[in-house]
Structure 1
Amino acid sequence: MLVATDRPEAPAAIRTHLGAIFVSLELSKSTWLVTSLLPGGGERMSKHAVRGGDIAGLLARFAQLREKAQVRTGETFPIVVIQEAGLDGFWIHRVLEHEGIESHVVDPASIATSRRRRRAKTDKIDGETLVRALLAYKRGEPRVCAMAKPPTPEAEDRRRICRERKVLVSERTSHANRIKGLLFAQGITGYDPLRRDRRDRLDDLRTGDGRVLGRQLKAQLIRELDRLELLFEQIKSVEAERDALLAADVADTPVALLLDLKGIGPESAAILYTEGLFRKFDNRRQVAAYAGLAPTPWRSGSIDREQGVSKAGNPRLRTTMIELAWLWLRYQPESALSRWFRERAECNAGRVRKTTIVALARKLLVALWKYATAGVVIEGAVMKTA
């Protein structure tokens, strides 16, 4: 029988001095869960709830944490806060920084989680996980998580024009499809609600069995056309505001260089700049990863395959680059990138065009980044005529 003196000593935990109060915020509309780890309190994390949106209550809780840590250790410590990027945006982060509190916004998808099929998930567990990730990040552990770089309020406000236009165009498509669907149910095809004579043509429409449109159906179609025409006016107003903004910023931004290229219009140039190129990137890998166009290999032992692009970046920039890649083939057929695409497509008998266009979008984004920031001319690219 082993006695206490014969038992092997348990390995001592590697401890580091906590030079700050580490806090994580689990945000929701009704409640903010504050999870904190204080110096002098061991490994136990404390949790407190604050009413959602109550910044004064949150700052009061931080003051209590400072006071508690000072009572335990006799020292005053700074507070380091972490929160996930999400519905609340970056306003809380800006308030904390204005109060002199170090704040970090993390990409929630970059934090490692258990791979069990049924893993436990609660706000309490997530709060502790965020604190541990923050501790590892401040220790300098590489690639422990991906911290987001919040844009300035001016940059965040500038990109709303393109995003609003995209929403309006989507709503326009929905209304147009709804009108077509109502008419198709009556056996009517070939009516385009986007044409200028859309109202005049309503009187000439006949159902599949030869009847005129019903009174209620026609009234519903007229109301749909009213909403559709309101969207036309709003889209036109947003586009005018976008063009005015681009004209005002053209001297200070790469937009002028992008607009000089054949095949790139005001909308594509605005999205490229406001969604991506306004940021500073260190290399081409960061550019591709920010757009979600970076490849994701799966390599383990004898297994070696590609899973496609990561889709972990900016979805608006990624969608625009895929569309722009197809336009590049049309308007820049003699460029080096277009020749590369044709060679790859011919080698595979055209079977991988959709896959190759994603690779072309990644190459094109990197080329446009070099062109807009460093002035590196894209090989074979044609400029617009005056």
Structure 2
Amino acid sequence: MQIITDRSQAPTAIRTNLGAIFVSLELSRSTWLITSLSPGGGEKMSKHTVRSGDVAGLRARLSQLKDKVQVRTGQVVPVIVIQEAGLDGFWIHRLLQDERVESHVVDPASIATSRRRRRAKTDKIDGEALVRALLAYKRGEPRVCAMVRAPTPQEEDRRRICRERKTLTAERVEHVNRIKGLLFAQGISDYEPLLRKRRERLEELRTGDDRPLPKHLKAQIGRELDRLELTLQQIKSVETERDAMLSPSDEGTPAPGAMLKNLKGIGPEFAGVLWSEGLFRSFSNRRQVAAYAGLAPTPWRSGSVAHEQGVSKAGNPRLRTTMIQLAWLWVKHQLRSMLTLWFHQRVQSNGGRVRKVLIVALARKLLIAFWKYVTAGVVLEGVETTAA
């Protein structure tokens, strides 16, 4: 069946009496598209383009919009700005807030779009859609979009420690694998680049056909070792900063990250990721905690059809990956924990075939338990600490 719709009378916006200038910012590397809807200007949205990073041009445009509204209506109205969360981060949002402009950052995936196979997508269309979403949000329509809570500069800077360590660890693996690959092609498979005597051991190596290492190959491996040693030094420095972050702020007052580290099976890296990536935020209920990590279930129910599609994965991927890794370690180290017993009971009742599915459910339950532990001090039953 072909559906024919009449778009000739479709308005570009919805009339509102909120008495404000609604502005959306479409940000790219080259230009910023400023789309606005002003009181007294009808339903037509005006568009203005400035060069990317031109803060002065943005200020001038917002000031010009306010002056035009004042001339038309004789009133001074506020400006409300919306932008998508993306590559530009939150510095524009903070800049607008410092200038007392109401600013919002929206999750772009939460804005409803056409489900047609081929739909038009341009900066102009996206800018108008952002303005309409902002209008509906300010009217109080529930779940029209999801606004992002921007972290403070201190919170944003703190989480870089664990992220940098993960990057450096990946670089360490690359250097080690490259060195081993070069030597394996010469018949050498017992060289460990991470040992302390790696330089001395390199001088003693002989190829599989009993020849000394070729001159250029030895020089290349030496340069790889230089980069490897620099990476190891940087990892040590980052871990020192991480341990300082997890240390108690005041004598006798444990930091939330230190509280997690005291649980058996959770090391400083896991504790740092859990705290800096998620648990430092304020959540209203356990559903928000699970949804932020992308561990919330996504049911599909329509009429007689009812089945689960798995977790949404629409959350913090670093936190979700860490929690699933931690869930496997939790089952291994916290044998008397109530959640461990629940996991084994469910696995046995299903014949041991759903371990990977249940481990995700365990990760969700663990994250909620950690949230209650660091915020309210609620200790999970049967949990062992490192002191014990």
Which interval holds the TM-score relative to the shorter structure? over 0.9
Q: Which moved more, 1:222-231 or 1:175-184?
A: 175-184
What stretches of structure 1 of length at least 5 have no aligned partner? 1-9
Tell me how far 1:259 sits from its aligned partner: 2.2
1:285 aligns with 2:282: no
**1:305 counterpart residue number:** 307
Give 3-state SS (helix, strand or coil) of 1:34's partner.
strand
Match for residue 316 of structure 2 among 314, 322, 331: 314
**Residue 48 of structure 1 corresponds to which residue in structure 2?**
48
List runs of 5+ in structure 2 lacking aligned partners: 1-8
**What is the CA-CA distance between 1:242 and the residue it aligns to?**
1.6
Question: Does structure 1 residue 242 correspond to structure 2 residue 242?
Answer: yes
Aligned residues: 377
Residues 357 and 11 of structure 1: is their aligned pair in 2 closer, same or farther, counting only changes over 3 Å? closer
Counterpart residue number, 2:276: 274
Query: In 1, distance between residues paired with 2:215 and 2:349?
Result: 59
SS of equivalent residue, structure 2 residue 247: helix
Deviation at 1:212?
3.2
Letter in 1 for 2:93: H
- Aligned to 1:112, the other structure's residue is in SS state coil
Structure 1 residue 18, shift from structure 2 partner: 4.0
What are the equivalent positions in structure 2 for 1:335-346 lying under 5 Å apart? 335-346=337-348
For 1:200 and 1:350, locate their aligned partners in 2 and report how far apart those are by CA, in whole Å: 49
Distance 2:76 2:181 in 1: 67
Residue 194 of structure 1 is matched in structure 2 by: 194
Q: Please, what is the CA RMSD of the aligned residues?
A: 1.9
| 1:1-386 pair list within 5 angstroms | 15-249=15-249, 251=253, 253-385=255-387
Q: Secondary structure at the match of 1:203?
A: helix
Query: How much does 1:304 deviate?
Result: 2.2
Q: 1:11 to 1:236 in 2, by over 3 A?
A: closer
Q: Secondary structure at the match of 1:104?
A: strand
**C-alpha displacement of 1:14:** 7.3
Counterpart code for 1:306: E
Residue 218 of structure 1: CA displacement?
A: 1.6
Distance change in 2, residues 1:264/1:14 (3 Å): closer
Q: CA deviation at 1:19?
A: 1.1
1:221 shift after superposition: 1.1
1:118-172 alpha-carbon deviations (Å, 9 max, x no partner): 1111111111111111011101111011100001111111211111111111111
Closer, same or farther in 2 for the Cα pair 1:252/1:32, shift >3 Å?
A: farther
The match for 1:4 is none
Residue type matched to 1:331 in 2?
H
* Cα distance in 1, alignment partners of residues 219 and 385 from structure 2: 50
Deviations 1:145-201 (A, max 9, x none): 110000111111121111111111111112112222222333432332222232222
Identity, in percent, stands at 72
Q: TM-score, normalised by structure 2?
A: 0.92
Per-residue deviation, 1:343: 1.4
Q: Per-residue deviation at 1:204?
A: 3.5
Please tell me whether the aligned partners of residues 36 and 47 of structure 2 are also in contact (alpha carbons under 8 angstroms). yes
Name 1:6's counterpart in structure 2.
none
Contact 2:248 2:258 in 1 (8 A): no
CA contact (8 A) 2:205 2:212 kept: yes
AA of the residue aligned to 2:47: K
Contact 2:187 2:207 in 1 (8 A): yes
User: 1:354/1:172 Cα in 2 relative to 1: closer, same or farther (>3 Å)?
Assistant: same
Aligned to 2:4: none
CA distance in 1: counterparts of 2:183 and 2:111, whole angstroms: 50
- 3-state SS, counterpart of residue 19 of structure 1: coil
**Contact 2:192-2:198 at 8 Å conserved across structures:** yes
- Deviation, 1:67, is 1.0
CA gap 1:136/1:319 in 2 versus in 1, 3 angstroms: same
CA 344–292 in structure 1, closer or farther in 2 if over 3 Å, else same = same
Per-residue CA distance 1:194-218 (angstroms, 9 max, x = gap):
2223222223434444443222222
Partner amino acid for 1:268? F
What's the TM-score once normalised by structure 1's chain length?
0.93
**Amino acid of the structure 2 residue aligned with 1:294:** A
Cα distance, 1:297–1:209 mapped onto 2, change above 3 Å: farther
Task: State the AA in 1 paired with 2:110.
Answer: S
The alpha carbon displacement at 1:300 in A equals 2.4
SS in 1 for 2:49: strand
- Describe the SS at the equivalent of 2:183: helix
